[in-house]
Structure 1
């Protein structure tokens, strides 16, 4: 009948069951409101366009995670000079954790930690020293590789 929404409620349906037109109009308004609300609620789901490239999405997520941990920094040498291996600026000198990280982090507190000092007093065996000449101890102290 005229005025029915999606053919769900018709005048004939209500007349046969003894309902008046006031009830019919009220239910039609409620149905119209529910249809409109369902479309409005669905808009945000369609508004988000995910990246078609999964690698790009993973890269963006990793970049955001990294930004939450630490802002972009420059590696620095023992004297505080910037090291930039890409442009080959001071690329031949070792980086200094104290100069690089110590600007934001409490370097003295970190260097007192258990893991930082693990193996500090241990001597390397002759075989270990020959096999891994870049290590300064058999523990974590002084770096591993």
Structure 2
């Protein structure tokens, strides 16, 4: 269901290569993005591989929730439409898990509650900036 939601359709499955030895066998990831044939994950585009991997991570978090999760530019290879799907999905997952996302993608930042930035105004001195997005929206009259 996670894959279907992130891809807007299709299907995916994990296949044990040797079901008689579940602890030692490889796992094959088969995916079928909407409008395409079933294929091994190795044959997907970079963005499709990234989104499939994100779907797997979110599926694991649904089964075994964690109090927090750190993602470092996991959506970098995605197009804007899929960045928006990813960001909305992260937003929904925040009921059980706190996310720390490192990103340069606007679509991800638009779903954030708080943005932190690091700047260097003078050589060798870093400064952290914090932006509460709800406060900024109120100031801009777009809340």
TM-score range with shorter-chain normalisation?
under 0.3
Q: Tell me which of the two structures has the higher relative contact order, counting C-alpha pairs closer than 8 angstroms and 6 or more residues apart.
A: 2
Structure having the higher helix fraction is 1
Structure having the higher strand fraction is 2
Could you tell me the TM-score, scaled by structure 1's length? 0.21
